[in-house]
Chain A
Amino acid sequence: MPKDGIGASTKRREDVRFLTGTGRYTDDINLGKQLYVHFLRADVAHARINGIDTSAAEGMPGVVRIFTAKDFEGVGGLPCGWQVTDKHGQPMQEPKHPIIAEGKIRHVGEIVAAVVAETLDQARDAAEAIMPDLEELPAVVDMKEAVREGATKVHDDLTSNLCYDWGFVEENKAAVDEAFEKAAHVTTLELVNNRLVANPMEPRVAVGDYAAHSDESTLYTTSQNPHVIRLLMGAFVLGIPEHKLRVVAPDVGGGFGTKIFHYAEEAFCTFAAKQLRRPVKWTSTRSEAFISDAHGRDHVSKIQIALDADNNFTALRTDTYANMGAYLSTFAPSVPTWLHGVLMAGNYRTPLIYVNVKAVFTNTVPVDAYRGAGRPEATYQLERCIDKCARELGVDPAELRRQNFITPDQFPYATPVAVEYDTGNYHATLDKALELADVAGFEARAEESKRTGKLRGLGIANYIEACGIAPSNLVGQLGARAGLYESATVRVNATGGVVVMTGSHSHGQGHETTFPQVIADMIGIDASQVEIVHGDTANTPMGMGTYGSRSLAVGGSAMFRAAEKVINKAKKIAAHLMEASEGDIELKDGQFTVAGTDKSVAWGDVTLAAYVPHNYPLDQIEPGLEETAFYDPANFTYPSGTYICEVEVDEGTGQVEVLSFTAADDFGNVVNPMIVEGQVHGGVAQGIGQALLENCAYDADGQLLSATYMDYAMPRAADLPMITVDHSCQTPCTHNPLGVKGCGEAGAIGAPPALVNAVLDALNRNGHAVDHIDMPLSPARVWSAMNA
């Protein structure tokens, strides 16, 4: 057993370069004769473009070319990767998403013109001399206003601002409504899932290059999925075949979803480099990131739970307005539907569920997947509503949940919203969290807080998520315009070292550490002999990238399957070398042995034989030791858990302090516990950020009010408590070879409802009857709720 195999908390090997400044990020890439682009971006939310005068700017020093929409005639728009069908069976309304605004500006930050110059300052200077002739139009910002009859349209060629009206499961609607009529109790809650800006530490960067001698284009970009960008940009936007287009995503400093999508700047740099026969580089400023990176969340929902006289959940229905922004970003339509509606059952046996989602166009930045993507929105509604329900009924919120849990003997469990949970044990994580958070001692702590003038509260939330997305044939039926398998090539070198080329992409997850742990475990060699290659379409097999907590569950499984093929072939070689039967060969600790004998041959001797095949069964197998596998999962994976948060509220100011946070997760098998705990820490920090601090706010004119860190509050270390993380409750995934489920998004999903429930508990147990406060729970909002 290697010391750094599965289960070892190996330190992250990639951190050495990240922490010593030797990482190679996209902005570190500078090519010979490189030009710089500065984008002139819209400073109004909605306007007709009557003309753009670039004449003064064109003559300015260093300017090479100024591009406007007319330079992109014949070039495709940015494609949307998911088509949702509405409740009437009609496809969603899908407007063109141009690289540079065509005819109309539809959000602050949209590209109006692009200046390519010898230096960045020259490009910026020239951009200030461009004179767009704009006719300002009323902005559409509020979703419910946007879908009113006669509202100003974001897209003149669409029938309305409604992208789709989705009902799920439409056939269940009548039965759900009937259950509500018969209910002994109904709890209703209206809430907002606040819009967020992803804010990865590294802003987006794109460098386009073109090699005239081979007619090949290369894009270096900050992406979570370089193959997806190659497919979308090559096939739908620029018309470049995949064998003439290479996309490289080197070290990427955080993504959180917002680097999944194909962006205009990527297509622009690739296009302009070919036009100008020189590399073109763009590095986003933080200010640009706020108005051009896809935002997250932004749902306005009403949820209702029906219960019988024994407090069993009998039905659930929700109405949600989901903001799409001005255009459909790559996966935007799927987030409020197939990543949200199908999770509405949560951890509970509720037999009847109906989810309605209206997706709406507004004059705001496009909204798409952000850490958790749809699942946090589902969990937040459900866990907030159950908490309110418990208060209305006067029952313990933990016990109301427990009473309605799917029980361990019910797995596999088919929910009324189309998915089948393969495995889980919600009672186990609830019990573990109650114990670790010392819930039994809470009342004493609350008394202690009272003595110091503070209001103490405790909040519980359960979550379930669908990760490891997903079976391609299923997502295809649901409207995905892509497959969702993953790939890996395992190449064994002559001297026994292993290189794994994976379609997964690490932008902070630690694949370079965890993936070798799996290989080390399978072969019995040291993990240091395994190298992971990712992020370059030129040297990795076609993969779908990293998001939705899918890397280990899907990409790791592809690697596992490829490694199995390698090992099976190596066994054949070993059998030949030891003159034994293949069926008797065992591989353990890097040694092939013949069962029942003392014969053995080392891993390195077998790999050498594969490449120096002097004594080799050439009549049966080929030389070499390299295999590829594509893995398409049979189902989603379903991580779950219970989170408990304890807070104190300052009654005088409304300030919330998070005192403790406990996460009891079921991630199935765990490869590197330290990395898993780090992922939970990060996810919880982001969840606390959403619940307490972060707020992407627009005014009625479509101007972003929180456009810098002076107004957009990011969580900082001092805002966070020590986080207790436990992953000992393990029900391994039943359908992937590693039994893993995924852990990247859990924290961001479970933390917001736990925190908000805790604050409301603090208020209600201290005489402030407050049903709900919308996130973020800023001091001003909490104070206002207490003093309403």
Chain B
Amino acid sequence: MYNFEFVKPSSVDEAVAALKDEDAQPLSGGQTLIPTLKQRLNQPSRLVSLLGIADLVGLSESGGEMTIKGATNHATVAAEAASSFPGLAALAGKIGDPAVRNRGTIGGSIANNDPSACYPAAAMACQATIVTNTREIAADDFFEGMFATALDEGEIVTAVRFPVPEASNYQKFEQPASRFPLTGVFVAKYADRVGVGVTGASNDGVFRWKEAEEALASNFSPDAISGLTVPADDMISDLHGSAEYRAHLVKVLTGRGVAAC
């Protein structure tokens, strides 16, 4: 780790101001950033902690939407969303281990957009809205590929707003070493549509399997997707699984997610 300045502001405005410094970076739960700092793969001049901002923590629900503030950790989501949005609570409750879940935040996960992160799958399936200090961005527009998002320099994710589905389920098939999803599928059933968000599988990062969404909208059962195939062209191929295997998993996990809803 190289030396850096550390600040912990108490408001979003102060944080935005502190991030104007060149090479300043926001620090939320640090579950990705701290390991890269330890390996000297990142050299910020200043880290701006978002964890001292009381306004960035907590869940609330109104009008069929659940709003999760950006610095809310996974353990909190797992506990507090359990009754009203069990699919998302279960997703949060399976991220990492208890230490990770008590540090890592939804804002950090969304903003980092690791191709194997769990939350982006739910955000895409639910067509969530990403709220920042300056604007609101639809999930479809927010995620721009591996580790890439629509966020501008110094822009902070202050909340994520999910339309709460009638039923939802997250199928996480773990990569054997990291236990991140080798492929993860979030299925969300609404009165008028079905969302299928896929993480871990594609070279382009999280995506919606729209063919399955359409098929499931008219027939919400595993049979509805039996005739569909997922093209392997853009899938990740690595030590842990081929592109074909990941494409196959997308279909298997979608079917299991639907069955579990």
Contacts and interface: CB of A to CB of B under 8 A. Distances in A.
Interface in A115-133: 124, 128
Interface stretch (A313-321, A336-344, A778-786): A778-786
Given A653-B252, A697-B239, A780-B240, A713 B245 contact: no
B231 interface: no
B216 to A, nearest CB: 18
A713 B173 contact: no
Interface in A676-724: 692-693, 695, 697, 705-706, 709-714
A124 B245 contact: no
Given A653-B252, A779-B241, 7 more contacts: A652-B252, A653-B173, A706-B177, A710-B178, A778-B241, A779-B173, A779-B176
A420 to B, nearest CB: 42
Contact of A695 (B39, B239, B242, B256): B239
A interface residue count range (under 10 / 10 to 19 / 20 to 34 / 35 or more): 20 to 34
A287 B245 CA distance: 29
B248 interface: yes
Given A711-B177, A712-B177, A706 B245 contact: no
Contacts of B242: 780, 784
Interface string B229-260: 00000000001111001001100100010000
Nearest to B237: A780
Given A287-B39, A652-B252, A779-B176, A711 B245 contact: no
Given A124-B40, A653-B252, A705-B239, A780 B245 contact: yes
Contacts of A778: 176, 240-241
B176 A706 contact: no
Most buried by A among B39, B173, B178, B245: B245
Contacts of B180: 710
Contacts of A653: 173, 249, 252
B239 A783 contact: no
20 contacts: A124-B40, A652-B252, A652-B256, A653-B249, A655-B173, A693-B176, A693-B177, A695-B239, A697-B239, A709-B178, A711-B178, A713-B176, A713-B177, A776-B176, A778-B240, A779-B176, A780-B240, A780-B245, A783-B248, A784-B242
A779 B173 CA distance: 10
A474 B88 CA distance: 65
Given A124-B40, A697-B239, A778-B240, A709 B177 contact: yes
Interface in A623-679: 652-653, 655
A706 B177 CA distance: 9
Nearest to B177: A713
A54 to B, nearest CB: 19
A712 B242 CA distance: 17
Contact of A711 (B39, B239, B241): B239
Interface string A514-541: 0000000000000000000000000000
A778 B249 CA distance: 14
Contacts of B182: 779
Interface in A88-137: 124, 128
A780 B177 contact: no
Nearest to A778: B176
Given A706-B177, A709-B177, A712-B177, A783 B245 contact: yes
Contact of A710 (B173, B177, B249): B177
Candidate in B173, B177, B241 with the most chain A CB atoms within 10 angstroms:
B177
Contacts of B40: 124, 128
Contacts of B239: 695, 697, 705-706, 711
A691 B133 CA distance: 50
Interface in B163-191: 173, 176-178, 180, 182
